[in-house]
Amino acid sequence: MSRSSFQQFHWHSKQFALASNDIHAFYHLLAEQMQGLALTKKTLGHIEGYPLELYQSANPQPKLANVLISAGFHGEEAAGPWGMLKFLSTLEPSITEQLNLSLLPLVNPTGFKAGHRFNQFGENPNRGFLVDKGRAKPAEDCSREGQLLIAQQALLKNLSQDGILTCHEDVLQHNCYVYSFEPEAAAGPFSYTLRDSLAEYFPVAADESIDGCKLEDGLIHNHYDSSFESCLVKLGAKRGACSETPALEDFDQRINANCAVMQQFVSASIEYHTKQV
Ligand code: NI
């Protein structure tokens, strides 16, 4: 089986009492959740009238870890953006005194609205991020969203210095797994702790090959392709992960798992930075 670019997936969330592709409600609730957090919004551009928004700590402090969390690259992987809303609802305003937090809550709005993987132009927003001599450059087939992100590469590189988490889902799976990045090292506690936070909600995928990549212990480790997360690690992010929740399972469980992996990423990032400083 392979992933279809335009097959539409729609789910109903009981906890939000909304359809997974209700984009107006999503942006509305996002703006509401941001109130009270010291994060400023920067609009990187628009795709068919929908903004690609980056939120970042309003007063970043040099001694704190710089981490970036992103979601919604693939439109049908809807539990990522909704999981981020739930994650935001659990944050204390003091979070920005503990780390310099940046967020890309919904990278592919047209895909999200339609409930399909690619954007409405048939482009894959998580491919086409090439790196050459320490600089990102768009591949020929780079999506509109990818081009907007690459245009901000200096900023995004700084914001993700200490870690990048991107939240995806796998529509072919009943099990969870993680693409993990710890450059020049075997998978360590950082990778396993993120896997374990998903394992609270779903069984971990058995050792096998997924999309041609070797999966071991629920991890595909240090696999570099032209994805956004791979690009940021190549640009210097110390750690990276792409979480994969199983989209054949219950939507609300997947939202909860995405919230949990974001929380775990934040607490692990604070812990590692404290040890290092
Ligand atoms: Ni994906």
Q: How far is the CA of 276 from the centre of ligand 1 (A)?
A: 32
pLDDT at 4 over 90: no
- In this predicted structure, what is the pLDDT of residue 277? 61
Res 96: pLDDT = 97
pLDDT confidence bin for 1, thresholds 50/70/90? low
Residue 122 has pLDDT above 80, yes or no: yes
- What proportion of the chain, given as a percentage, has pLDDT over 70? 99
Tens of pLDDT, residue by residue over 23-53, are: 999 999 999 999 989 999 999 999 999 999 9
> What's the predicted TM-score (pTM) here?
0.98
Per-residue pLDDT tens for 123-170? 999 999 999 999 999 999 999 999 999 999 999 999 999 999 999 999
Quote the DSSP letter at residue 113.
Answer: H
Three-point CA angle 227, 228, 232, nearest 5°: 120
pLDDT of residue 239: 96
Q: What is the pLDDT of residues 66-102, one digit of tens each?
A: 999 999 999 999 999 999 999 999 999 999 999 999 9
Per residue in 227-265, pLDDT (tens digit) is: 999 999 999 999 999 999 999 999 999 999 999 999 999
> Across-strand partners of 180?
221, 241
Helix 23-34 vs helix 79-90: angle between axes, to the nearest 10 degrees?
A: 20
**Would you place residue 275 in the very low, low, confident or very high pLDDT band (cuts 50, 70, 90)?**
confident
Task: Tell me the CA–centroid distance for residue 108 and ligand 1, in Å.
Answer: 11
Mean of the per-residue pLDDT values for the chain? 96
Q: How far is residue 40's CA from residue 63's CA, in Å, rounded to a whole number? A: 19
**Residue carrying the six token digits 């780390």:** 99
Q: Which domains does the chain have, with CATH numbers?
A: 22-276 (3.40.630.10)
Q: Separation of 174 CA from ligand 1 center, angstroms? A: 15
Cα of 97 from ligand 1 centre, angstroms: 31
What span, in angstroms and rounded, lies between the C-alpha atoms of 42 and 20?
Answer: 25
DSSP-assigned letters across all residues of 159-181: HTTTEEEEEEEETT-SSBEEEEE
Question: What is the distance in A from the centroid of ligand 1 to the CA of 170?
Answer: 6
Predicted pLDDT of residue 40 = 97
Per-residue model confidence (pLDDT) at position 5: 87
Residue 37 and residue 100 in contact, taking contact as beta carbons nearer than 8 Å? no
* CA-angle at 194, arms to 177 and 2, nearest 5°: 20
Cα 77 to averaged position of ligand 1 atoms, centre (Å): 6
Contact predicate 52/27, CB 8 Å: no
173 C-alpha to ligand 1 centroid (Å): 12
pLDDT band at residue 184 using 50, 70 and 90 as cut-offs: confident
Return the pLDDT at 246: 98
CB 215 within 8 A of CB 209: yes
CA angle 271-95-145, nearest 5°?
95
End-to-end Cα, the chain, rounded Å: 47
